[in-house]
Structure 1
Amino acid sequence: MDSDVRRYLDELVGRARAVLGDDLVGAYAAGSVGLGAYQPGRSDVDVALVVVRPVAGPVKRTLVDRLRHEALPCPARGLELVVYRRDVAGSGTPEPGFEVELNTGATMPFRATWDPADRPAADGRFWYALDRSILRQSGLALLGPPAADVFADPGPEDLRRLLVEALRWWLALPTPPGDAPAPGAEDAVLGACRALVRCRDGVWLGKVDAGRRLAADDPDGGLIRRSIAARRGGPPPAGPEARAFQQRVLERIAATH
């Protein structure tokens, strides 16, 4: 793990314990850090905190104040932090189910969401159960028991539906017209690769690792390899070809039973 990220996570956990006290029973690095795919300058730091009981409103606000970028500078693009009750984390629910969510960073728009009902449907409600599934497999325990003992996967049908919803959300994003390289299209392609690998092989991989696995024998291997190269500074694929690939992956996952 990047040494700056390690120090940051240590300080974050210390501050969270100071606010939440004995109610904090676990802290876990998720996303690219947990999957061993963290890329300095590009990746976010994803953290899940697990608590015993519901968090009161004033405590939520204190936690956000202590952890937002202005109070604790994030060395990555930004911090995406979610707090769950332990019963929710272990339930396998497909619902968001969080206590509070914080997005903050030097290049990330600030957002604090105090209740799942406040989460705009247009921003996607599928992220949380998918993130908890990744945490179950690969969450890095910063505090508390192993992540596999705390988090649960959604059921197979819920997981497939959530992956389809995620792909539809990506497809609804605007893309530049024409065949010019479209910044961000590489992440759309590789995110679709990760979804397909999870559905097909039952394992979560980092985006680049998922792309490598598929590129070996997929008809779209050339597009996937160009998307991997774009993560290292090469030109991204064009928007239309990325969208066409996402649509094909969506159809493959939707047809899975």
Structure 2
Amino acid sequence: MDGDVGDYLGELVDRARDVLGDNLVGAYAAGSVGLDAYQPGRSDVDVALVVAHALDGSTKRTLVDRLRHEALPCPARGLELVVYRRDVAGSGTPEPGFEVELNTGPAMPFRATYAPTDRPAADGRFWYALDRSILHQSGLALLGPPAGDVFADLAPADLRRLLTEALAWWLALPIPAGDGPAPGAEDAVLGACRSLVKARDGVWLSKVDAGYRLMERGEHVELIARSIAARRGEPPPSGPEARAFQRQVLAEVAGTH
């Protein structure tokens, strides 16, 4: 883990404990940190806090005020933090189920959401259960019991449905349609690789590691190699190339190919 990120997470946990007290069950690094794939300058810091009991509105707002970038500067592109009750974390529900969500950082628009019903449907409601699935497998405990003991995985049917929703959401994002390099196309390709590997093999890998796994099988080697290289500053694939790959993956995951 990047040293600055480690220090930041330590301070974040201390502040969360100050606000939540004995209600705080655990704190867990998810996403690229949990998957040991953090890339300085590109990755976000993803954190899940788990509480024993529901939070009232005042506590939610105080937690946001103490953890937002203006109060605790984030050394990454941004912080994506979600708070769950322990019964939700351990339920395997496909629903969002969060107490509070905070997006904040130097390169991330601020957003605080205090109930799942306030989350715009267009922004996707699949993120949370998929993130909890990753936490079940690979969450890094910063405080509290092991992540695998706190977060339940999804049922196979729910997992496939949410992966399909996520792929469709990514497919709807704008990417330049010309034949030249399209910024963002690399993430579209590698995100689809991760979903495909999870659907096939039942394991969450980082986007890049998922790409390497497919390349080792001789699948889409040239496209994936260019997408990985784009994360190091090389030109990304074109929009049409990324879209064609996304559609192929979506068809396989959804069972329509």
Alignment TM-score, normalising by the size of structure 1: 0.98
5 Å-filtered alignment, 1:1-257, equals 1-255=1-255
Amino acid across the alignment from 1:202: G
Amino acid across the alignment from 2:216: A
Amino acid across the alignment from 1:65: D
Amino acid across the alignment from 2:254: A
- Over residues 154-203 of structure 1, what are the superposed CA-to-partner deviations in whole Å (9 max), with x where a residue is unaligned? 10000000000000000111111211111111011000000000111110
Amino acid across the alignment from 2:7: R
Give 1:219 shift. 3.7
**What is the RMSD computed on CA atoms of the aligned residues?**
0.8
Secondary structure, aligned partner of 1:157: helix
| C-alpha distance in structure 1 between counterparts of 2:64 and 2:93, whole Å | 25
| C-alpha distance in structure 1 between counterparts of 2:174 and 2:228, whole Å | 21
The answer to whether the Cα contact below 8 Å between 2:53 and 2:85 also exists between their aligned partners in 1 is: yes
Secondary structure, aligned partner of 1:253: helix
Structure 1: where are the runs of 5+ without partners? none
* Range moving further from structure 2, 139-148 or 213-222: 213-222
| C-alpha distance in structure 2 between counterparts of 1:179 and 1:154, whole Å | 39
Give 1:217 shift. 2.4
| C-alpha distance in structure 2 between counterparts of 1:207 and 1:86, whole Å | 28
Alignment TM-score, normalising by the size of structure 2: 0.98
| C-alpha distance in structure 1 between counterparts of 2:62 and 2:219, whole Å | 51
